[in-house]
Structure 1
Amino acid sequence: MTDRRNDRPQTLVRRHPLREGVSRAVVTPIQPSVVYASPSIDMLHAQYEGRAQGYTYAREGHPNATLLAQKIDMLEGAEGGLITGSGMAAVTAAIMGILGAGDHIIGADQLYGRSLRLMHQDLARFGIATTVVDPTNPEALRAAIRPETKMILIEVVSNPTLRIADMEGILAVAKAAGVRVAVDNTFTTPMGYRPFDHGADIVIHSVTKLLAGHSDVTLGYVAARDPADAKKIYDFAVTTGMTPSPYDCWLAERGLYTFPLRFDRAEANAAKLADWLAEQPKVAQVLYPGRPDHPDHAQAQKLLGGRNGNMLSFRIDGDEEAANRMIMAMPEMAFAPTLGDVGTTVSHPPSSSHRGLTPAGRAALGITDGFFRVSVGIEDVELLVADFAAGLAAV
């Protein structure tokens, strides 16, 4: 009888790669590996020095992130974009990777709530001075620039009041002063505006939103025109561990394939819903760039070429109690502080994205207790009208 006590199950401790056949997968495979084996020290050097393409450790990059970045690069007309673990990670990497103690950054006064918090509360701890200005007024920007100003952070369409930045004026002022312009293009998307085509230096996205489109990933994207800036951003993101999940990257890539179709349908729905809301006696104001009564309508048509997007905001004359009654009367509608999903979502900025501002600060921006932001999805618009009719009836 053979003694097998010393037999070792070698197949359990040695990894064997799958062999490719004569056919290929139609769907991108998920590559969850954290580490990648190199054939030699020479080849490892070649990878780190950029002489050979490969991966070493997933925090420094992995195939699913690379592929997703390349696809967003194509949409934005960019090269060498970086995927991060969230949209705010992309914003932070762009700022902290390039700026340092003693530098100054100017931001729009209606950035995403967490971007505003970063500007108002966090950057000062690292010695970075901040100023916020009205993005519709390039002269206010010109007046805010200092010798130590290194960057301007702008959203083309502001959150949540949907004001349209004077990008032509901003870029001209920035270029004359030698200051970088970083554009958070999440709201607008490449369907409406491509910042690099107009002279911007950095493009940022919360991929979580419209690009991925299904509220099932958390990712960001950042690309820099200058390779030296891109390297600084990459190094900061890798050092601080802003690693994206391969699975999230895979889901976002899948979402990108339907992005143009989703954008078209949601935009058409938003235009119809905005017009319907404007006719309701309990609605005091509707903000949608495609409507002639929008304060920046002419600028929007010039800048966005008629792509008015899927975002709208509206205001009821009432306090938070009235706003709460409206939300409770439309239970089929997702009340959630997000945007860009295939389904419509409603948010209440005073209690979510802009709750960190004082009441006076919110009022200065036009964000009252009865202010709502709507990310319009791809449902039948008749369903949306019915939901909002029920909500308004409760006000």
Structure 2
Amino acid sequence: MKNSRPSIMRPHGIPDSVSTPVATPLSPSVVYASAHPDELDAQYEGKLQGYTYSREGHPNADVVAKRLDAMEGATGGVVVGSGMAAVSCVLMGLLQSGDHVIGADQLYGRSLRLMKEDLPRLGISTSLANPSDIDAVRAAIRPETKLVLVEVVSNPTLAVADITGLAQLCHEKGILLAVDNTFTTPRAFKPFEHGADIVIHSVTKLLAGHSDVMLGYVVAKDPALNDRMRVFSVTTGMTPSPFDCWLAERGLLSFDLRYDRAEATAKDLADHLATLPGIKRVIYPTREDHPDQARALALLGGRGCNMVSFELNGGREAANAFARAAEGLNFAPTLGDVGTTLSHPASSSHRALSADNRAALGLHEGFFRVSVGLEEPELLRRIFADAVSAAT
């Protein structure tokens, strides 16, 4: 029987109500009390549903996980403290010393650093290959290869991976395929429907969408893999903040509307940028001049994303002039906000790479990545025209 002795040191219960809250309550408690050891055992053994210590899970994280599971057509997803925590859950939670992993040669800068510097010192060898070239990925496979990590649309060069070919190759070789779906989101692409084994998201970006949340999410088809990643995240303290989860749930309620609006404006902006003198190149997956356009149309069903990349004529001086003149836009190393943001990979996401490595990826000093927000298209056209003019 539960101990009902009153104590001023214990919180009073939430008052009973015949009605229910419309908004999910925020549950910031770090610890949850059980009645006795047998009840606690039953919770840990899965015989009773309950919470114990928030590092091991809390209600707000579960609410967000279930929403994201539904969006990706999955079950058992894990919400963690950041997008890179989700990547780490896959690479460090599932691999061990002696294993080999292949990464796309164009990944988010910190994912590349994890591949190149951190995994090797833990005894996990790595290789990079072009995810659009199946023969190149096949050539990189070794007997000890356990996993391939790719982004559907790469950050920040917006190259489109051959997910169909990669899935066929990985299944043929018994290798896991992990897909970072952050740029495309389940609104444009659902990796499990195309053969992926694991899906990764930086919820911080488009899904939460207001630049006030730091969260990641990862889910696998195989429940055993989800269990391993969950245990790893708990052990290494990747637990998300209840408040961030609460904010993310709010953002998810408007996600579809935000994504559709930003995607349409991004297409408009890409076409506009291509007409401006002083622009060396514009990158958007569904444009006719994109080398992966056919693959993008096939994989994304005619959809794109809210990201546009372009390169100015000139180097750092032109980049500085452009950023200073882009009044009303935030120059910040982020994406997915309700407002349009500008990112300069050479000074932010890919600054850890050498100049030669950045050049090999096409990330010159005049290269910008744009995360298109919810502004009126005409306003953005005017801002970008003025800023490009100032830069040139």
TM-score of the aligned structures, taking structure 1 as reference length? 0.96
Q: How much does 1:19 deviate?
A: 2.4
2:153 equivalent to 1:141: no
Check conservation: 1:183, 1:200, Cα contact below 8 A: yes
Gaps of 5+ in 2: 1-5
Give the whole-Å Cα distance in 2 for the aligned partners of 1:34 and 1:256: 24
2:278 equivalent to 1:282: yes
Q: How much does 1:219 deviate?
A: 0.3
Give the whole-Å Cα distance in 1 for the aligned partners of 2:109 and 2:243: 27
| Counterpart among 100, 103, 120 of residue 99 in structure 2 | 103
State the partner residue of 1:91: 87
Check conservation: 1:46, 1:52, Cα contact below 8 A: yes
Q: Where do 1:314-393 residues align within 5 Å?
A: 314-393=310-389
Q: Which moved more, 1:37-46 or 1:293-302?
A: 37-46
| Counterpart among 290, 305, 310 of residue 309 in structure 1 | 305
Gaps of 5+ in 1: 1-9
Give the whole-Å Cα distance in 2 for the aligned partners of 1:73 and 1:109: 28
Bigger Rg over Cα: 1
State the partner residue of 1:132: 128
Amino acid at match of 2:271: D
Give the whole-Å Cα distance in 2 for the aligned partners of 1:85 and 1:310: 24
Q: Where do 1:141-220 residues align within 5 Å?
A: 141-220=137-216
Check conservation: 1:191, 1:307, Cα contact below 8 A: no
Check conservation: 1:287, 1:312, Cα contact below 8 A: yes
State the partner residue of 1:269: 265
Give the superposed CA RMSD. Answer: 0.9
State the partner residue of 2:251: 255
Amino acid at match of 1:230: N
Q: C-alpha deviations, 1:31-78, integer Å up to 9, x for none?
A: 001111112322211211112211100000000000100000000001
Check conservation: 2:60, 2:246, Cα contact below 8 A: yes
State the partner residue of 1:239: 235
Q: Which moved more, 1:226-235 or 1:250-259?
A: 226-235
Give the whole-Å Cα distance in 1 for the aligned partners of 2:325 and 2:11: 57
Check conservation: 1:82, 1:234, Cα contact below 8 A: yes
How many residue pairs get aligned? The number is 386
Give the whole-Å Cα distance in 1 for the aligned partners of 2:323 and 2:10: 57
Give the whole-Å Cα distance in 2 for the aligned partners of 1:342 and 1:87: 19
Give the whole-Å Cα distance in 1 for the aligned partners of 2:257 and 2:191: 22
2:245 equivalent to 1:223: no
Check conservation: 1:288, 1:311, Cα contact below 8 A: yes
Check conservation: 2:164, 2:195, Cα contact below 8 A: no
Q: How much does 1:94 deviate?
A: 1.2
Which SS does the other structure have where 1:12 is aligned? coil
Q: How much does 1:14 deviate?
A: 3.2
Q: Which moved more, 1:338-347 or 1:31-40?
A: 31-40
Which SS does the other structure have where 1:353 is aligned? coil
Identity %: 61
